[in-house]
Structure 1
Amino acid sequence: MKKNIYKITASALLVAILATGCAKTSNTDSSKNTSSNTVTEQNTDEAANTGDTSETEETTESSETVYPLTIDAYGPDGEKYTQTFTEAPSKVITNNPSSTDLLLELGLEDKIIGIMKPDNAPDEKWASAYEKLTVLGDKMTMSKEVIIGAEPDFIFGRTMPFNDESMGKIDDLNDMNVNVYTQLASNFVIEQSLDNVILDVRNIGKIFNLNEKANTYADSLQTRLDAIREKVSGISETEPVKVLFMVTYVDGTFNTFGANSTLQREMLKTINAENVLETGTSSLTSENLVSLNPDVIVYIKSDRNAETDKTAVESLLNDETIKSVPAIENEKIIKLGYDEVMDYGVRIFVTLETLYDFIY
């Protein structure tokens, strides 16, 4: 049964604060670090688009991590914080499903001491595992005090929550001897590439000294990505397919979804497609849909909109005012889950393959 921790005792917080007397494990100046093993991430626009997933000064063939290991984490504004790991983490908090899924994939369930409450039901593959995990609270109300009170030594997840209003800034967490790894794929500052998802897998393997397992998994993802790129290579010169991400279609009105981060854009670009409305907009009408004229509609479903989602596609197909829209006329509407589109982990490869098969 899930456990929910929304409050911490004063004594637990005191213990966490007293822990700062230990040596700091990270700093923001990589030039001061003398670690014998450094993981270098893609952190420039040029590097992010090279497709190069080589991430260490050593080759990825090394089966053992040499500690201390240094690796960079990035804050919401792109600021870099160099983290130093003297051993594999043992008390981990994740802040989104894809981070949790990856740790489960690598067999690290017993290391996870807390997760954020998922927005949607977990992937069927991990449903039973999620039932055993401790839920620390909702992502909308999470606080640094709750995080510190759980006494983690490592936090893994997307970049945005690492601020004073949520999980705390990375340097403040470092002062509490808590290391952080933020998914490169969630970094809005750099130009994105699907290769960054693969690089995240390899880097987590390094951190936990599970290099062989992580690299095998990463290689399988690379093979899948290369296969899609090869399929698309023959049609890449044609006009991109126009895709509209949509939520909550009811009685001729709908919202477009803000699936406009560079990662989602790159996903579409990989299959020679483009988003017709990259800025999420509320309360659009059938007339707006006609003017957008998408070839394909991706209807994003979620647990919170379950009642609306039941009839949305049928309603779209029966709306006479939009029957000339190619996506409606050709019945090119596909329903995908929120986490399959908007999370920053390996589910994006399933979505990529699903969209390719659906479009072509």
Structure 2
Amino acid sequence: MKKIKLLCLSSVLIVSLSAFAGCSSSKEKVSNDKNTEAQSSTYKPVTITVDLLRNGKGEKVTETFKAPPKKAVALGDEFTDILLDLGLEKNIVGRTENGCKAVRTTFNDVRKNVPVLADKNLSQEKLLSVQPDFIIGWDSNFSDKKFGKEFCEKNGISIYTPKFTGDHATIQDLYTDYITLGQIFNVSSKAEARVKDMKAKVSKVQDKIKTVKNDPQKIFIYDSGENAPFTGCQGLPGDLIKIAGGKNIFDDIDKGWANVSWEEVVKRNPQVIIIMNYGTSDAEKKEKFLYSNPALKDVEAIKNKRVYPITLTDVEGSAGTAEVVNDLAKAFYPSVFNN
């Protein structure tokens, strides 16, 4: 009889505890819901205008965000790293690798957690399989042949093309993109802190080289091409050369990138050649070609062995751009940094 009573008492106790736990769980859920509502209520709608390339012509598209994107896709290593730099790993559902294996090591471990949707040519089907609500990439990614305006609108995808990718972009555009993305994803404090840090690093370099600015080194950017070199002229690469105290020998060409001739390179006689490094053995192959090219044997950069590889993604704009300013300045003025 005592055993039966004990069992009954135990059952009552279990039911009571379960009811209490259920009540506690219910209160906790209500509390969490309120926190979520509070977070949503603090979000200020963000309206942006992006420039797209469609059929060879520019087109402006307006996007309004009423909440932070939850399923972002980054079309390129540099864009992935910027989102990671803002602490948005949980907001990224996929990325593409643009073939440039040379990226800063800062986010290598974290980047592994972001699914690779494609190496380069991402299909519409594969993109939609992760149900994205936001895509960041070059304007060419949003041409009619890929993920055009109508396709993105139909599938509820917001578009973002960074200002720093423009043919006449400056490092200020990179800062602006950080601030804008901070507003879009509701991480403004993080974005502002990163911009402040980048500006401090750039300022430190400029203070270091202020004594040599009146006699800038002549710089040639070598991306690719053996018959006719493909080089950086304007845009962020050109601005970084200037910030680091150099003089781009092709800054008179009003394009971001352009094909030139070896004859013109020789004529302009660069003192330093910067190789765009795509990773693996890419830089080594390019360096070997430049040193073995008989047409360049009398160029100062070749004679004095001043050919340096620089990470492509950082030169085009990424989380490591402020650091690359320091790398460039060291290549231009080694004696200044050795003192």
- Which residue in the other structure is 1:205 paired with? 182
Aligned equivalents of 2:231, 2:46: Cα separation in 1: 36
**Do 1:225 and 1:349's aligned partners in 2 also have CA atoms closer than 8 Å?**
yes
Compared CA separation, residues 227 and 174, structure 1 to 2 (3 A): farther
> Normalized against structure 1, the TM-score is what?
0.69
SS of the residue corresponding to residue 225 of structure 1 reads helix
Amino acid at match of 1:124: T
Shift of 1:300: 2.3
- Which residue in the other structure is 1:243 paired with? 219
- Which residue in the other structure is 1:345 paired with? 318
Question: Which of structures 1 and 2 has the bigger CA Rg?
Answer: 2
SS of the residue corresponding to residue 152 of structure 1 reads coil
> Normalized against structure 2, the TM-score is what?
0.73
- Which residue in the other structure is 1:281 paired with? 259
Aligned equivalents of 2:291, 2:45: Cα separation in 1: 58
Amino acid at match of 1:332: R
Compared CA separation, residues 225 and 193, structure 1 to 2 (3 A): same
Compared CA separation, residues 84 and 358, structure 1 to 2 (3 A): same
Aligned equivalents of 1:117, 1:318: Cα separation in 2: 31
Does residue 155 of structure 2 align to residue 176 of structure 1? yes
Residues 219-230 of structure 1: matches in 2 within 5 Å?
A: 219-230=196-207
**Do 1:247 and 1:255's aligned partners in 2 also have CA atoms closer than 8 Å?**
no
Name the % identity.
24
Compared CA separation, residues 65 and 73, structure 1 to 2 (3 A): farther
Residues 98-109 of structure 1: matches in 2 within 5 Å?
A: 98-109=78-89
Amino acid at match of 1:339: T
- Which residue in the other structure is 2:90 paired with? 110
- Which residue in the other structure is 2:68 paired with? 88
Does residue 106 of structure 2 align to residue 125 of structure 1? yes
**Do 1:92 and 1:155's aligned partners in 2 also have CA atoms closer than 8 Å?**
yes
Amino acid at match of 2:308: I
Which structure's residues are more often helix, by fraction? 2
Amino acid at match of 1:173: C
1:185 to 158, 164, 170: 164
Does residue 266 of structure 2 align to residue 297 of structure 1? no
**Do 1:101 and 1:126's aligned partners in 2 also have CA atoms closer than 8 Å?**
yes
Shift of 1:321: 6.1
Amino acid at match of 1:357: K
Shift of 1:167: 2.4
- Which residue in the other structure is 1:257 paired with? 230
Compared CA separation, residues 65 and 160, structure 1 to 2 (3 A): farther
Shift of 1:100: 0.7
Aligned equivalents of 1:268, 1:319: Cα separation in 2: 24
Shift of 1:202: 1.2
Residues 5-16 of structure 1: matches in 2 within 5 Å?
A: none
Compared CA separation, residues 302 and 88, structure 1 to 2 (3 A): same
**Do 1:297 and 1:334's aligned partners in 2 also have CA atoms closer than 8 Å?**
yes
- Which residue in the other structure is 2:284 paired with? 310
Shift of 1:317: 4.6
Amino acid at match of 2:298: S
**Do 2:218 and 2:247's aligned partners in 1 also have CA atoms closer than 8 Å?**
yes
Which digits, 9 at most, give the CA deviation of each residue in 1:204-227, with x for residues without a partner? 111111111111111111222233
Does residue 310 of structure 2 align to residue 336 of structure 1? yes
Shift of 1:327: 0.7
Shift of 1:185: 0.2
Shift of 1:320: 6.8
SS of the residue corresponding to residue 222 of structure 2 reads strand
**Do 1:183 and 1:200's aligned partners in 2 also have CA atoms closer than 8 Å?**
yes
Structure 1: state its 5+ residue gaps: 1-63
Compared CA separation, residues 144 and 315, structure 1 to 2 (3 A): closer
Does residue 44 of structure 2 align to residue 67 of structure 1? yes
Aligned equivalents of 2:97, 2:67: Cα separation in 1: 28
Shift of 1:84: 1.3
- Which residue in the other structure is 2:133 paired with? 153
Aligned equivalents of 2:130, 2:43: Cα separation in 1: 28
**Do 1:298 and 1:336's aligned partners in 2 also have CA atoms closer than 8 Å?**
yes
Aligned equivalents of 1:110, 1:144: Cα separation in 2: 22
Shift of 1:235: 3.7
- Which residue in the other structure is 1:269 paired with? 242
Compared CA separation, residues 321 and 184, structure 1 to 2 (3 A): closer
**Do 2:242 and 2:248's aligned partners in 1 also have CA atoms closer than 8 Å?**
no
Residues 322-333 of structure 1: matches in 2 within 5 Å?
A: 322-333=296-307
Shift of 1:183: 0.6
Amino acid at match of 1:331: K
SS of the residue corresponding to residue 70 of structure 2 reads coil
Compared CA separation, residues 200 and 336, structure 1 to 2 (3 A): same
- Which residue in the other structure is 2:4 paired with? none
Shift of 1:127: 1.9
Shift of 1:234: 4.2
